[in-house]
Structures are given as structure tokens and as C-alpha cells.
Amino acid sequence: MKKIIVFTIVCIFIVPVLSAQKVERMEPLNWWVDMNLSRVEVMLYGDNIAQYTLQVEGLTVMQQLRTENPNYIFFTVETKDKAAGNYAVNLKNKNKIVQTLQFELKERREGSAERTSFTTEDVVYLLMPDRFANGNPDNDSHPDVVEKVNRELPGGRHGGDIEGIIKNLDYIKDLGATAIWSTPLLEDNDSTYSYHTYGQSDLYKIDPRYGTNEDYVRLVQEAREKGIKIIKDMVPNHWGAAHWMMNDLPTYDWLHQFPGYGQTNYRSSTHLDPNRSDWDLKYCEDGWFVKSMPDLNQRNPLVQNYLIQNAIWWVEYADLDGIRVDTYPYNDKYKIAEWTKAITDEYPNLNIVGEVWMHDQAQISYWQKDSPIGAIQSYNSHLPSVMDFTFHDAVGMAFREPHAGWDNGMYRFYENLVNDFLYADPHNLLIFLENHDTDRFNHHYKDIKDYKLAMTLMATHRGIPQLYYGSEIGMAGDKSKGDAYIREDFPGGWEGDKNNAFTQEGRTEEQESYHSFTKKLLNWRKSAPAVHHGRTIQFLPHENCYVYFRIHNDQTIMVVINNSLEERNLDSERFNEVLGNFSKGKDIISGNIVHFDENQISIAPKSSMIIELER
């Protein structure tokens, strides 16, 4: 009989009687030689296995732990200077071996530790796999998981999968994106709304409705062959209520217990607040994100080791190019910093971007590595990149303000850059118009002219641009109707769709207008070092017209964005400190030559220019 935990007021453990059943799970199943993290904590799970003694042939066992739950054994082995191969893990009853498992040490890929990552040279394409494309209808439903496919249900499983991503890599490449951030692909066995996969039920297994672990590795390999990087979405703060451990926790304090469920207050600012109450901080970092997502207790060393090793295991196993971390400030801030540092100690060049959904630059800066704001409280998250939600906030307002006042319209973007002095590395911020948790940009802005203004800004701004799937064909969505409406299926991803927006001939005239502009802009960006690495000089917006320059070595780019409803004539002498001896430039959007010796630059209403300057 398995031990049961009942989540009411307390958790009650029923100790099992002696059973012939032995180890059902070993996690991780393998490690690699020559890792910085050479001491690996292995978890064994099975009915009453704590009664057995443990022996590992060829590896030094540094520590063995039994918990209050007799169905678990945790043991730590030293892998330093060991050869690749299989090492026998023996469970013994007295002197008799009752079960032998194999723990494998594998050879690392050459250069694995020094792998490069996504940078300012990239454009990240965010997609939700269940809603992107169905490449293999045979796995739409699967006997190992509860929820079955139902494309008629907005919040149901629709059948998109890894094969659908692989089959459309050429589309993403042709668009000009160079990295893919997919929302989580690990198993989510919730009975409803499992398509978003943030309530994970097995941290070592790809959801079978998406494919297999091997399919995920193949995605990474085939993407890399096309010059596309893969960023994995990781969730160390919580997992799903259907996680396999939830019926049989290793320890009572594996989760944050109140006892049982306690709701987070979502107030991440309590981490920084010098006047906060301990009660409020506790419910921020220990509270459950929602009732179906139990909050993990990283202050328990077993939990912390499990999560660190799992993250490193996926980077090494799948050969990943980067990590995005969900709900970063909802964790214990010291333990999430420890988690992040362990990964970057293993992979010094790996970029990790954290979701820090806050609306103040100082508060966002606090969570970036080496932050001058964090230093005030002697805190360092070790997190290389954060999401620039204040940029997103400005996007949500600025383009509906054609008659700008003192602090609205294009001033919103000017003031956002003013606060870059708060960041340790403002270039390594993820900037975006929208994502899978927000209203779609095209819902609020119906006119493609506004889309073109926003995309011009994002493609030339400091930071790493992130495009949400479908925006490039004009997809819209209103979050107030429910999350499913901002996560609709990409047209053409399913057999029988009325049009196929993955192809030029399959796109409607409107879809092609969005797509052709996006494709032109993003592919130009690939060869613009001034945008990737350049410094910025911005001028105060005048009459809702915003001008800034990106400068790097021999390349200087002038960006002009007219958010007003009238044509603007700009006095080029105002910009002479940058224009200097430049006499002309080519607008990459229109293809026109812009001359500066006439001392006037004209720009049509609700339009933009990206001018590559020429002497």
C-alpha cells in the first residue's frame, strides 16, 4: 500500500508494510562526466525501499538520507574524475541484493560548458506549442495523461506539438526570428486546462501529447541547423497538483504548507520593501500561485538540489541555448538566486531571463544580476536578464495617444530609457509588445500603422526583442474573455484550416501586409550591429515625434517615429551632434534616400523611418 497524504488541516502519513515492490523511479537517471556539479543527489522512489541498504559500485557515496516517508532514499555520489559508463546501484536486504539499477555517466558534448546563448543579436519568437501547429495527430490524446484533445473547447487541448514546431522551423527562419521560446513542454496531467503546461506533473518527461524527450532533442538539433536557438521555459516556483509526488511527498515540508493550501498575494514588491510585514512577505513567496499549483519549498535542501539538478540536466541533455524562468520573484529570493547561480556556474555564457512582472524600473532592476538597486540590500539574484515590463506598459498606452502631452505618447518610451541607469545591463532586457499572459497588441490597436510603429521601435530599441506568435499576421485577442482568447490556434497549423498563414499564398491580404513588414524588418535587423551592440542617443520627443540614434563603430542608424496624426517636418540641425558629416541615408522601410543638406526631414503621419546614415 502506498503512503497517502491528505491535504486538509494536516498531512497524514500511513506507513506501508513490507512489500516485494521495489524502486519505481530514479531521478536523475544519468549525469555527465567533467561537470562542475560533480556531486549528484539521486532520488529513489518505491514502496518501503528505505528498509534496504544501498551500495553503488565504482562511485563514492558521500551521503545517504532517509526521510519520514519510507518510500524514498536520497543518496549523493561523487562523479569527479570518473569515466563514462554504467554504475550499478544495488539495494540490499542484509547481504542479499534485491534489486540492481544502472546509473549512467555520459560523455559531455565538446564545448558544452562554454555554450553560447541568446543575445541582443537575436529576435525571440514566443509560441505556445498546443496552439501553434499539429504536426502529429496520432499523439493528440494519450493514455498516460487525463485530458484528451478537444479543439472545439477554447481552453481545451488542441493538439499542437513538437512535430508541428519542427515542420514550421523554415517559416520562423524566413520571418527573421533567430530563437524560439516555447511555453513549457513537460508533462501536465491536470484534468482541464492542461494545454498551457505550467502545472507540471513530471519534471523529467515531455508531455506525450507534445511528443517524447527524443523529439525535443530533435527539435533543438534541427533548429540549430537552421540558425535558430531554443529557450526552455522552467518553473522552479511550483508544479501541478497532479505531479506524481503529490500523493506521496518525500517530506511534509517539500511544499509550503499553511497547512495545505495558502494563496499568494502576488505582491513581489514585498521582497524589496524595507517597511513590509513578515506576514505579507510569507504569503508572497510561500503562497501557492493558484490552488492547482502547489508552491515548492526551496529552503528544503532536498527540493533545492532536485530543482537545480533538473535544470542542469535539461540543458545538458537537450543541448539548450537558454532558459526563461516563470514567476521569478515568487520564489524565496535567496534560494532562487542560488538556483540561478548553480546553473550559470555550470554554463557561464548561458543567458537566463526571468519573468519579473513589475511596473517600476527600480523594482525590475532589483532582480537582474549585479543590480545597483539590489546592492543596496546586499542582494544579487545572479539572473542575467529580466523582462522589461515597463516597456510593455508604455506600448499599451503610447500609440493611442496621438496628441501627446507632457508625459504621454512617445514620451513614455523616452522616459523608460531615461531610467536605464538603474540597470546593471539594460541591453540584456527582454522587450516585447505582448506575450501569452497579456492582451494581444492587435486587439487594442486595430490599425496596422500602429503595429508598424511599435515593431519599428522594438526592432531598433536596446534589448532583445520578443515577438508573440501570430502577431506577425495580425492575430488579436482580448484577455478579458479568458486566456484561451489570447492563445488561439495559428491558422494553417491544422489540416482543414480555412487558410494557411504559414505560406504566402495561404495568407489573406491583411495577414500578408503584417507579415511582409515584419519579415522585412527582422531580416534587416540581423545585419545591424548598431542595433545589436550600439549605444543610444535619444532626443526629446517633439509634437509626438521621437528620434533616436543607435551607434556602433562604422554604423549609425537614425530612427524616426511619428506617432501624431499629422505630417511632421523635422529640423535636421537639431540632430547635428550625431548627423555630423552625414549627408544622406537610406530608409530601410521605404527604400527612399533621405537627404540632410536640406535641413528638413519630412515624415508622414503615423509612420516611421529607419535610416542607415551615409557620408
Mean confidence (pLDDT) of the chain: 95
Q: How many of the other CB atoms lie within 10 Å of CB of 99? A: 16
Last residue of a domain, one of 79, 106, 133: 106
Mind spelling out the 3-state secondary structure of 247-308?
HCCCCHHHECCCCCCCECCCCHHHHCCCCCCHHHHHHHHCCECCCCCCEECCCCHHHHHHHH
Q: Are strands 229-234 and 322-325 parallel, antiparallel or unpaired?
A: parallel
66: domain CATH number is 2.60.40.10
Q: Do residues 486 and 436 make contact, with C-beta atoms less than 8 angstroms apart?
A: yes
Residue 249: closest CA among 45, 64, 487: 45
The confidence score (pLDDT) of residue 228 equals 98
pLDDT band at 28 (very low <50, low <70, confident <90, very high): very high
Residue 599: what pLDDT?
82
Distance CA 408, CA 412 (A): 5
Q: Which of 76, 106, 136 is the last residue of a domain?
A: 106
Residue at 45 is within a domain: yes
The phi, psi pair for 468, rounded to 5°, reads -90, 130
| Per-residue confidence band for 21, with pLDDT thresholds at 50, 70 and 90 | low
- The residues pairing with 7 across neighbouring beta strands, listed in sequence order, are none
For residues 351-363, give the mean pLDDT. Answer: 98
Q: Which residues contact 125 (CB under 8 A, 6 or more apart)?
A: 172, 175, 177, 179, 180, 181, 466, 467, 469
Q: Is position 402 within any domain?
A: no
Distance CA 330, CA 357 (A): 10
**Which residues have a Cβ under 8 Å from the Cβ of 110 and sit 6 or more positions away?**
none
d(CA 190, CA 295): 16
For the question of residue 614 being annotated catalytic, the response is no
Cα of first residue to Cα of last residue in the chain, in angstroms, is 81
pLDDT tens per residue across span 467-484 = 999 999 999 999 999 999
Using omega within 30 degrees of 0 as the cis cutoff, is the peptide bond preceding 236 cis?
A: no
Answer yes or no: is 580 within a domain.
yes
DSSP state, residue 157: B
Told to judge if 187 belongs to the known catalytic residues of this protein, a careful annotator would answer: no
Dihedral of CA atoms 431, 435, 439, 445 in degrees, nearest 10, equals 50
For 17, the grid coordinates are: 508494510
Do residues 126 and 181 lie in contact, with contact meaning Cβ atoms separated by under 8 Å? yes
- Strand 351-354 and strand 385-387: the pairing is parallel
| CA 491/CA 458 separation, integer angstroms | 25
pLDDT at 9: 33
3-state secondary structure of 526: coil
The three-state secondary structure class of 32 is: strand
- The catalytic residue among 207, 355, 388, 472 is 355
pLDDT of 178 > 60? The answer is yes
Tell me whether residue 590 is in a domain: yes
With beta carbons less than 8 A apart as the criterion, state whether 423 and 365 touch: yes
Examine the pLDDT at 610 and tell me if it is beyond 70.
yes
Structurally, how many domains does the chain consist of? 2
Q: Identify the CA nearest to 381 among candidates 321, 432, 315, 425.
A: 425
Q: pLDDT tens digit string along 239-292? A: 999 999 999 999 999 999 999 999 999 999 999 999 999 999 999 999 999 999
Query: Which residue shows C-alpha cell 546593471?
Result: 424
Q: Which domain-ending residue is among 60, 84, 106?
A: 106
Model confidence at 6: pLDDT above 70? no
pLDDT above 50 (res 12)? no
Which residue reads 540558425 in cell numbers? Answer: 227
Render pLDDT for 114-168 as a digit per residue (tens, 0 to 9): 999 999 999 999 999 999 999 999 999 999 999 999 999 999 999 999 999 999 9
pLDDT surpassing 70 at residue 513? yes
Question: Lowest mean pLDDT: which of 4-13, 516-525, 526-535?
Answer: 4-13
Residue type, 234: M
Give 1 or 565, the one with higher predicted confidence: 565
Cell matching residue 52: 534496504
Between 360 and 3, whose confidence is greater?
Answer: 360
- The pLDDT of 594-602, averaged and rounded, is 88
543 closest CA partner among 560, 564, 559, 574: 564
pLDDT in tens, 277-311: 999 999 999 999 999 999 999 999 999 999 999 99
DSSP letters, 529-566, are HHHHH-EEEEEEEETTEEEEEEEETTEEEEEEEE-SSS
Host domain of residue 55: 23-106
CATH of the domain at 560: 2.60.40.1180
SS3 of 451-496: the string is: HHHHHHHHHHCCCEEEEECCHHHCCCCCHHHCHHHHCCCCCCCCCC
C-alpha–C-alpha distance, residues 243 and 250, integer Å: 13
Specify the residue for cell string 533548429: 223
The percentage of residues in the chain with a pLDDT greater than 70, rounded to a whole number, is 97
Q: What integer pLDDT is reported at residue 301 of this predicted model?
A: 98
C-alpha cell at 435: 506575450
Q: Are 458 and 432 in contact (CB under 8 A)?
A: yes
Return d(Cα 344, Cα 365) in angstroms, integer: 19
- Strand pairing of 429-432 and 464-468? parallel
9 assigned to some structural domain: no
Domain-located, residue 77:
yes
What burial letters (b/e) apply to 433-449, b meaning 16+ CB within 10 Å?
A: bbbbebbbbbbbbeebb
Asked if the model's pLDDT at residue 20 lies above 90, the reply is: no
pLDDT (average), residues 436-465: 98
**What are the C-alpha distances in Å from 65 to residues 43, 53, 70, 75?**
10, 11, 11, 6
Point out the catalytic residue in the list 326, 332, 346, 388. Answer: 326
* Own/partner long-range contacts of 531-537 (Cβ < 8 Å, ≥24 apart): 531/120, 531/459, 531/460, 531/557, 532/119, 532/120, 532/121, 533/120, 533/427, 536/417, 536/462, 537/577, 537/578
Q: Contact, 285 vs 271, CB < 8 A?
A: yes
Q: pTM, whole model, 2 decimals?
A: 0.95
